[in-house]
Amino acid sequence: MSDLDQVITGYRVWHCRLPVRSKRSHGIGTVSDACEVVLLRLTLEDGTEGWGEAAAWSVFTGSPEASFAALDRYIRPLVEGRKLSDRPALMAQARRAVAHCTEAKAALESALLDLEGRVRGLPVARLLGPDPKSSVPLSVSIADPDFDQDIRLLERLTADGVGIVKLKTGFRDHAFDLRRLEHLRTHFPALDVRVDYNQGLTADEALAQVPEVARFAPTFIEQPVAFHDYDTMARLRGLTDIPLLADESVFGPEDMARAIREGICDGVSVKVMKSGGPVRGAEVARMAAEAGLSAYGGDMFESGLGHLPGLHMVAACPEITLGCEFYQARYYLVEDLLDGEIELKDGALVLPTGPGLGLCPDPDRVAAAEWTKR
């Protein structure tokens, strides 16, 4: 029997609540106190464990309750007793078993890839591409409604060698956004600054405000309007030379095809939580590159376990050239779930080289984070 013919005998799901360090405002919503993730642990006959995380945000992708139900009720019966070598078929069946819930499918694919990498002695990135990058530049989002707090974070980031920040805009008013951009350009001139509205503007607001923000020459401006407003995204693209990126408008390959057809963006945020796993995320990146669009690796409110499949995907995709945003575990959570830290070197996250995802959750931290007040 090949090791990949082993059967999945263990399937455990947790709903965890992770305290955070500060309030963060994005165009469509605010996170404070804590974020919530759903964890999946698969176990093979020989005891090998593989882990995945579903990091849902109710205003963006969906709710953690939906992720939990998708994994615990609808996906579990497809997986228990199946061979590890059935991964492609399992993913296809999971996509049909429950609509949406892309974060739950991402957790499943992450856990299956983690198992396969551990069994084959290869990092997940090598399962996704032949020649992964060894590190990926890190971008950290500036999103505290109290900008003085963010200035302290910026000083820490600069000391850590982080050279990319993304300013979250569109949650208070235009003057606040311009004031913060001015401050960044004046006091942190070496930073690569990007702007992300997270759908925070109406179409009229976007048509008036985006050209003014573009004067600060950010590397790109991301998703000013609602995900479904492809028409305004296409119009905005014609108003400025600054690249316009799609995030909430593009979840998986199907959205990417439409976004390319309708010319709504110059680049795309690729996230395993939107695409339903790293395999489809890599497909989004390939489609974007073939159409001449750029891409970066985005995240949700994730623990380090959620960052890992994203980091392996970005490392494996030469098409993703704008870095990654896997900063929450280091800079936003009070305590991460992993039993180690993803290394940060010269402003870039270093791809773990061990088998599978390379790191796994600490059981005590998972037990302490389990949310039981339902």
Is 196 one of the binding residues for Mg ion (CB under 5 A)? yes
Are 52 and 106 spatial neighbours (Cβ–Cβ below 8 Å)?
A: yes
The whole-angstrom separation of Cα 327 and Cα 158 is: 14
The whole-angstrom separation of Cα 68 and Cα 128 is: 26
The whole-angstrom separation of Cα 124 and Cα 134 is: 13
Residue 318: what residue type? P
Site string for Mg ion, 230-259 (x = CB under 5 A): -----------------x------------
Shortest reach from residue 274's CB to Mg ion, in Å = 10
Region near Mg ion per CB under 5 A, out of 97-105, 130-138, 145-153, 196-204: 196-204
Q: Under rule CB under 5 A, how many of the chain's residues touch Mg ion?
A: 3
Region near Mg ion per CB under 5 A, out of 157-165, 202-210, 222-230, 249-257: 222-230
| Distance in angstroms between the alpha carbons of the first and the last residue of the chain | 43
CB atoms within 10 A of CB 153: 20
Region near Mg ion per CB under 5 A, out of 103-111, 218-226, 316-324, 335-343: 218-226
Shortest reach from residue 293's CB to Mg ion, in Å = 15
Considering the complex, state which of residue 222 and residue 302 has its C-beta at the smaller distance from Mg ion.
222
The whole-angstrom separation of Cα 338 and Cα 356 is: 14
Shortest reach from residue 119's CB to Mg ion, in Å = 35
Shortest reach from residue 134's CB to Mg ion, in Å = 26
Considering the complex, state which of residue 109 and residue 247 has its C-beta at the smaller distance from Mg ion.
247
Shortest reach from residue 245's CB to Mg ion, in Å = 8
Considering the complex, state which of residue 40 and residue 244 has its C-beta at the smaller distance from Mg ion.
244
The whole-angstrom separation of Cα 166 and Cα 192 is: 8
Considering the complex, state which of residue 114 and residue 299 has its C-beta at the smaller distance from Mg ion.
299
Q: How many CA atoms lie within 13 A of 183 on its CB side?
A: 14
Considering the complex, state which of residue 37 and residue 300 has its C-beta at the smaller distance from Mg ion.
300
Region near Mg ion per CB under 5 A, out of 132-140, 178-186, 215-223, 336-344: 215-223
Shortest reach from residue 199's CB to Mg ion, in Å = 9
Shortest reach from residue 325's CB to Mg ion, in Å = 8
Considering the complex, state which of residue 143 and residue 337 has its C-beta at the smaller distance from Mg ion.
143
Angle between helices 278-290 and 304-316 (to 10 degrees): 40
Region near Mg ion per CB under 5 A, out of 93-101, 193-201, 231-239, 284-292: 193-201
Site string for Mg ion, 285-324 (x = CB under 5 A): ----------------------------------------
The whole-angstrom separation of Cα 304 and Cα 360 is: 9
Q: Which residue is closest to Mg ion by CB?
A: 247
Considering the complex, state which of residue 135 and residue 249 has its C-beta at the smaller distance from Mg ion.
249
Q: Counting Cβ atoms within 10 Å, is residue 88 exposed (0-12), middle (13-18) or buried (19+)?
A: exposed
Nearest to residue 184, comparing CAs of 142, 247, 126, 230? 142
Shortest reach from residue 229's CB to Mg ion, in Å = 15
Nearest to residue 52, comparing CAs of 316, 317, 367, 302? 302
Is 114 one of the binding residues for Mg ion (CB under 5 A)? no
Considering the complex, state which of residue 222 and residue 319 has its C-beta at the smaller distance from Mg ion.
222
Q: Which helix (H) or strand (E) holds 44?
A: strand 34-44
Considering the complex, state which of residue 20 and residue 69 has its C-beta at the smaller distance from Mg ion.
20
Spell out the residues 6+ positions from residue 262 whose beta carbon is closer than 8 angstroms to its own.
Answer: 230, 234
Shortest reach from residue 255's CB to Mg ion, in Å = 14
Spell out the residues 6+ positions from residue 108 whose beta carbon is closer than 8 angstroms to its own.
Answer: 40, 52, 71, 75, 79, 90, 91, 94, 277
Looking at the DSSP bridge assignments, the partners of residue 192 are: 164
Residue carrying the six token digits 């492609």: 88
Residue ranges that bind Mg ion, judged by CB under 5 A: 196, 222, 247
